[in-house]
Structure 1
Amino acid sequence: MATNYKTVAVAIDFSEQSLKAYERAVKLAIEYGATLQLMNVIDTKSFGAVTAYDLKYAEKLKEENFIKIEKLKKEAQTAGVTEVLTNVETGSPKSILTKLPAVDLLVCGATGLNQLEKMVLGSVAERIVRLASCDVLIVR
Protein backbone atom coordinates (compact mmCIF):
# COMPACT_ATOMS: atom_id res chain seq x y z
CA MET A 1 0.00 0.00 0.00
CA ALA A 2 1.39 3.39 -0.99
CA THR A 3 1.63 6.14 1.60
CA ASN A 4 0.29 9.59 0.84
CA TYR A 5 2.13 12.15 2.94
CA LYS A 6 0.08 15.26 3.67
CA THR A 7 2.72 17.14 5.64
CA VAL A 8 6.44 16.82 5.02
CA ALA A 9 8.75 18.53 7.51
CA VAL A 10 12.45 19.09 6.91
CA ALA A 11 15.10 19.88 9.52
CA ILE A 12 17.37 22.65 8.27
CA ASP A 13 20.52 23.87 10.01
CA PHE A 14 21.93 25.26 6.72
CA SER A 15 24.65 22.61 6.56
CA GLU A 16 25.30 20.94 3.20
CA GLN A 17 23.49 17.80 4.35
CA SER A 18 20.42 19.70 5.54
CA LEU A 19 20.19 21.57 2.23
CA LYS A 20 20.24 18.22 0.42
CA ALA A 21 17.43 17.10 2.73
CA TYR A 22 15.56 20.32 1.88
CA GLU A 23 15.86 19.60 -1.85
CA ARG A 24 14.52 16.07 -1.34
CA ALA A 25 11.67 17.34 0.84
CA VAL A 26 10.66 19.86 -1.84
CA LYS A 27 10.47 17.07 -4.42
CA LEU A 28 8.42 14.90 -2.07
CA ALA A 29 6.04 17.74 -1.21
CA ILE A 30 5.44 18.36 -4.91
CA GLU A 31 5.01 14.64 -5.64
CA TYR A 32 2.46 14.16 -2.84
CA GLY A 33 0.82 17.58 -3.04
CA ALA A 34 1.85 17.95 0.59
CA THR A 35 2.38 20.91 2.86
CA LEU A 36 6.10 21.53 3.36
CA GLN A 37 7.20 22.56 6.85
CA LEU A 38 10.69 24.10 7.05
CA MET A 39 12.10 23.64 10.56
CA ASN A 40 15.17 25.36 11.96
CA VAL A 41 16.09 24.74 15.59
CA ILE A 42 18.89 26.77 17.10
CA ASP A 43 20.63 24.51 19.60
CA THR A 44 20.95 26.75 22.65
CA LYS A 45 22.63 23.95 24.64
CA SER A 46 25.71 24.43 22.48
CA PHE A 47 26.08 28.02 23.75
CA GLY A 48 27.29 26.95 27.19
CA ALA A 49 26.11 28.76 30.27
CA VAL A 50 22.95 30.81 29.90
CA THR A 51 23.88 34.45 30.17
CA ALA A 52 22.48 37.66 28.75
CA TYR A 53 25.09 37.44 26.00
CA ASP A 54 23.97 33.95 25.04
CA LEU A 55 20.32 35.03 24.92
CA LYS A 56 21.16 38.04 22.74
CA TYR A 57 23.23 35.82 20.46
CA ALA A 58 20.40 33.29 20.19
CA GLU A 59 17.90 36.02 19.34
CA LYS A 60 20.19 37.50 16.68
CA LEU A 61 20.80 34.05 15.21
CA LYS A 62 17.06 33.40 15.21
CA GLU A 63 16.45 36.60 13.22
CA GLU A 64 19.20 35.71 10.72
CA ASN A 65 17.91 32.15 10.30
CA PHE A 66 14.36 33.40 9.80
CA ILE A 67 15.58 35.46 6.82
CA LYS A 68 17.39 32.40 5.40
CA ILE A 69 14.39 30.12 5.92
CA GLU A 70 12.06 32.61 4.22
CA LYS A 71 14.37 32.54 1.20
CA LEU A 72 14.09 28.74 1.11
CA LYS A 73 10.30 29.09 1.40
CA LYS A 74 10.20 31.29 -1.70
CA GLU A 75 12.42 28.83 -3.58
CA ALA A 76 10.09 25.94 -2.65
CA GLN A 77 7.04 27.91 -3.79
CA THR A 78 8.77 28.76 -7.08
CA ALA A 79 9.54 25.04 -7.53
CA GLY A 80 5.83 24.23 -7.19
CA VAL A 81 5.08 23.56 -3.52
CA THR A 82 1.68 25.12 -2.87
CA GLU A 83 1.83 25.44 0.92
CA VAL A 84 5.05 26.12 2.81
CA LEU A 85 5.23 26.75 6.55
CA THR A 86 8.33 28.04 8.31
CA ASN A 87 9.41 27.71 11.91
CA VAL A 88 12.57 28.91 13.64
CA GLU A 89 12.86 27.86 17.28
CA THR A 90 15.47 27.80 20.00
CA GLY A 91 16.08 24.81 22.22
CA SER A 92 17.08 21.20 21.74
CA PRO A 93 16.77 20.02 18.12
CA LYS A 94 16.57 16.42 19.34
CA SER A 95 13.57 17.21 21.48
CA ILE A 96 11.71 19.65 19.23
CA LEU A 97 12.08 17.67 16.00
CA THR A 98 10.84 14.43 17.52
CA LYS A 99 7.67 16.08 18.82
CA LEU A 100 6.37 17.87 15.73
CA PRO A 101 2.58 17.64 15.62
CA ALA A 102 0.67 16.59 12.49
CA VAL A 103 3.76 15.65 10.45
CA ASP A 104 3.61 12.52 8.27
CA LEU A 105 7.25 12.51 7.12
CA LEU A 106 10.33 14.14 8.63
CA VAL A 107 13.32 14.58 6.33
CA CYS A 108 16.78 15.38 7.70
CA GLY A 109 20.42 15.16 6.77
CA ALA A 110 22.59 12.37 8.11
CA THR A 111 24.90 14.89 9.78
CA GLY A 112 24.62 18.53 10.73
CA LEU A 113 26.86 21.40 11.69
CA ASN A 114 28.33 19.78 14.79
CA GLN A 115 31.82 18.54 13.83
CA LEU A 116 31.89 15.77 16.44
CA GLU A 117 28.64 14.33 15.11
CA LYS A 118 30.05 14.04 11.59
CA MET A 119 32.09 10.95 12.59
CA VAL A 120 28.97 8.78 12.61
CA LEU A 121 25.30 9.24 11.87
CA GLY A 122 24.55 12.54 13.58
CA SER A 123 23.15 12.26 17.06
CA VAL A 124 20.18 14.47 16.11
CA ALA A 125 19.41 12.24 13.12
CA GLU A 126 19.87 9.12 15.24
CA ARG A 127 17.50 10.43 17.90
CA ILE A 128 14.91 11.37 15.28
CA VAL A 129 15.02 7.88 13.80
CA ARG A 130 14.48 6.33 17.22
CA LEU A 131 11.87 8.68 18.67
CA ALA A 132 9.85 10.37 15.92
CA SER A 133 6.23 9.33 15.75
CA CYS A 134 6.15 9.73 11.97
CA ASP A 135 8.12 8.26 9.06
CA VAL A 136 11.69 9.53 8.78
CA LEU A 137 13.89 9.92 5.71
CA ILE A 138 17.62 10.43 6.28
CA VAL A 139 19.34 12.03 3.29
CA ARG A 140 23.05 11.61 2.59
Structure 2
Amino acid sequence: MIKHYQKIAVAIDFSKQSMKALDRAILVAKDNDATIQLVNVVDTKSFGSISAYDLNYAEQLKQESLTKMDQLKNQVVAAGVPVVDVVVKEGSPKEILTDLSGVELLICGATGANNLEKMVIGSVAESIVRLASCDVQLVR
Protein backbone atom coordinates (compact mmCIF):
# COMPACT_ATOMS: atom_id res chain seq x y z
CA MET A 1 0.00 0.00 0.00
CA ILE A 2 1.34 3.43 -0.93
CA LYS A 3 1.06 5.97 1.85
CA HIS A 4 -0.31 9.42 1.14
CA TYR A 5 1.82 12.03 2.91
CA GLN A 6 0.42 15.37 4.03
CA LYS A 7 3.43 16.87 5.80
CA ILE A 8 6.95 16.29 4.50
CA ALA A 9 10.06 17.63 6.18
CA VAL A 10 13.36 18.00 4.40
CA ALA A 11 16.65 18.37 6.26
CA ILE A 12 18.65 21.28 4.86
CA ASP A 13 22.32 21.87 5.66
CA PHE A 14 22.95 23.60 2.31
CA SER A 15 25.15 20.75 1.09
CA LYS A 16 24.79 19.33 -2.43
CA GLN A 17 23.09 16.25 -0.96
CA SER A 18 20.52 18.30 0.94
CA MET A 19 19.67 20.20 -2.25
CA LYS A 20 19.04 16.84 -3.95
CA ALA A 21 16.82 15.91 -0.99
CA LEU A 22 14.93 19.18 -1.48
CA ASP A 23 14.37 18.38 -5.16
CA ARG A 24 12.99 14.98 -4.16
CA ALA A 25 10.78 16.52 -1.48
CA ILE A 26 9.27 18.87 -4.05
CA LEU A 27 8.36 15.94 -6.30
CA VAL A 28 6.87 13.90 -3.46
CA ALA A 29 4.96 16.90 -2.10
CA LYS A 30 3.47 17.68 -5.51
CA ASP A 31 2.46 14.02 -5.99
CA ASN A 32 0.76 14.01 -2.57
CA ASP A 33 -0.58 17.58 -2.41
CA ALA A 34 1.52 17.84 0.75
CA THR A 35 3.09 20.70 2.63
CA ILE A 36 6.86 20.94 2.99
CA GLN A 37 8.72 21.90 6.13
CA LEU A 38 12.29 23.04 5.45
CA VAL A 39 14.37 22.26 8.54
CA ASN A 40 17.84 23.60 9.25
CA VAL A 41 19.72 22.98 12.46
CA VAL A 42 22.56 25.22 13.59
CA ASP A 43 24.70 22.50 15.14
CA THR A 44 25.68 24.06 18.46
CA LYS A 45 26.68 20.62 19.77
CA SER A 46 29.74 20.79 17.52
CA PHE A 47 30.77 24.10 19.16
CA GLY A 48 31.82 22.34 22.35
CA SER A 49 30.90 23.67 25.76
CA ILE A 50 28.94 26.91 26.03
CA SER A 51 31.90 28.68 27.56
CA ALA A 52 34.04 27.74 24.54
CA TYR A 53 32.09 29.73 21.97
CA ASP A 54 30.43 33.08 21.63
CA LEU A 55 26.63 32.93 21.75
CA ASN A 56 26.56 35.73 19.18
CA TYR A 57 28.22 33.38 16.69
CA ALA A 58 25.32 30.90 16.95
CA GLU A 59 22.81 33.73 16.51
CA GLN A 60 24.71 35.01 13.46
CA LEU A 61 24.68 31.53 11.92
CA LYS A 62 20.96 31.25 12.65
CA GLN A 63 20.25 34.57 10.92
CA GLU A 64 22.32 33.55 7.89
CA SER A 65 20.43 30.26 7.75
CA LEU A 66 17.07 32.04 7.94
CA THR A 67 18.01 34.21 4.95
CA LYS A 68 19.06 31.19 2.90
CA MET A 69 15.99 29.22 3.97
CA ASP A 70 13.66 32.05 2.89
CA GLN A 71 15.29 31.94 -0.55
CA LEU A 72 14.76 28.16 -0.69
CA LYS A 73 11.15 28.63 0.41
CA ASN A 74 10.56 30.99 -2.53
CA GLN A 75 12.09 28.40 -4.90
CA VAL A 76 9.84 25.65 -3.54
CA VAL A 77 6.72 27.79 -3.89
CA ALA A 78 7.77 28.71 -7.45
CA ALA A 79 8.18 24.98 -8.18
CA GLY A 80 4.51 24.41 -7.33
CA VAL A 81 4.32 23.61 -3.62
CA PRO A 82 2.03 26.30 -2.19
CA VAL A 83 2.49 25.65 1.54
CA VAL A 84 6.07 25.75 2.79
CA ASP A 85 7.18 26.26 6.39
CA VAL A 86 10.69 27.18 7.48
CA VAL A 87 12.22 25.95 10.74
CA VAL A 88 15.69 26.95 11.94
CA LYS A 89 16.72 25.63 15.34
CA GLU A 90 19.89 25.47 17.38
CA GLY A 91 21.07 22.22 18.89
CA SER A 92 21.87 18.69 17.79
CA PRO A 93 20.67 17.80 14.27
CA LYS A 94 20.24 14.18 15.33
CA GLU A 95 17.92 15.13 18.17
CA ILE A 96 15.93 17.84 16.40
CA LEU A 97 15.42 15.98 13.11
CA THR A 98 14.15 12.85 14.85
CA ASP A 99 11.63 14.80 16.93
CA LEU A 100 9.64 16.82 14.37
CA SER A 101 5.99 17.24 15.26
CA GLY A 102 3.36 16.07 12.80
CA VAL A 103 5.81 15.08 10.08
CA GLU A 104 4.90 11.91 8.19
CA LEU A 105 7.97 11.73 5.93
CA LEU A 106 11.47 13.09 6.49
CA ILE A 107 13.69 13.38 3.44
CA CYS A 108 17.41 13.99 3.84
CA GLY A 109 20.67 13.56 2.01
CA ALA A 110 22.60 10.36 2.61
CA THR A 111 25.60 12.50 3.55
CA GLY A 112 25.78 16.09 4.66
CA ALA A 113 28.06 19.03 5.19
CA ASN A 114 29.77 17.70 8.30
CA ASN A 115 32.25 15.04 7.12
CA LEU A 116 34.19 15.11 10.40
CA GLU A 117 31.14 14.07 12.41
CA LYS A 118 30.41 11.29 9.93
CA MET A 119 33.89 9.85 10.42
CA VAL A 120 34.12 10.27 14.19
CA ILE A 121 30.60 9.97 15.63
CA GLY A 122 28.37 8.52 12.91
CA SER A 123 26.25 10.23 10.34
CA VAL A 124 23.14 12.26 11.06
CA ALA A 125 21.37 10.29 8.33
CA GLU A 126 22.12 7.01 10.06
CA SER A 127 20.71 8.33 13.34
CA ILE A 128 17.59 9.59 11.58
CA VAL A 129 16.95 6.18 10.05
CA ARG A 130 17.30 4.51 13.45
CA LEU A 131 15.44 7.02 15.61
CA ALA A 132 12.82 8.89 13.58
CA SER A 133 9.20 8.12 14.40
CA CYS A 134 8.10 8.87 10.82
CA ASP A 135 9.01 7.40 7.44
CA VAL A 136 12.47 8.39 6.20
CA GLN A 137 13.80 8.69 2.67
CA LEU A 138 17.53 9.09 2.06
CA VAL A 139 18.64 10.68 -1.20
CA ARG A 140 22.00 10.09 -2.85
Q: TM-score, normalised by structure 1?
A: 0.93
Counterpart in 2 of 1:9? 9
Letter in 2 for 1:60: Q
RMSD of aligned Cα (Å): 1.6
* 1:116 to partner: Cα distance: 2.6
Counterpart in 2 of 1:90? 90
**Partners of 2:54 and 2:31 in 1: how far apart?**
41
**Partners of 2:49 and 2:116 in 1: how far apart?**
20
Counterpart in 1 of 2:31? 31
**Partners of 2:118 and 2:8 in 1: how far apart?**
25
* 1:31 to partner: Cα distance: 1.1
- Of 47-56 and 79-88, more deviation after overlay is shown by 47-56
Aligned length: 139
**Partners of 1:129 and 1:81 in 2: how far apart?**
25
Q: Give 3-state SS (helix, strand or coil) of 2:95's partner.
A: helix
**Partners of 2:51 and 2:69 in 1: how far apart?**
26
Q: Which runs of 5+ in 2 are unaligned?
A: none
Large movers: runs of 4+ above 6 Å: none
* 1:26 to partner: Cα distance: 1.0
Counterpart in 1 of 2:54? 54
Letter in 2 for 1:7: K
Counterpart in 2 of 1:63? 63
Q: TM-score, normalised by structure 2?
A: 0.93
**Partners of 1:125 and 1:115 in 2: how far apart?**
12
* 1:54 to partner: Cα distance: 2.7
Q: How does 1:119-138 map to 2 (within 5 A)?
A: 123-138=123-138
Q: Which runs of 5+ in 1 are unaligned?
A: none
Task: Kindly indicate whether the alpha-carbon contact (under 8 Å) linking 2:47 and 2:53 is maintained by their aligned counterparts in 1.
Answer: no
* 1:129 to partner: Cα distance: 0.2
1:92-117 Cα deviation digits (max 9, x unpaired): 00001001010010000011111235
Task: Kindly indicate whether the alpha-carbon contact (under 8 Å) linking 1:12 and 1:108 is maintained by their aligned counterparts in 2.
Answer: yes
Q: Give 3-state SS (helix, strand or coil) of 2:45's partner.
A: helix
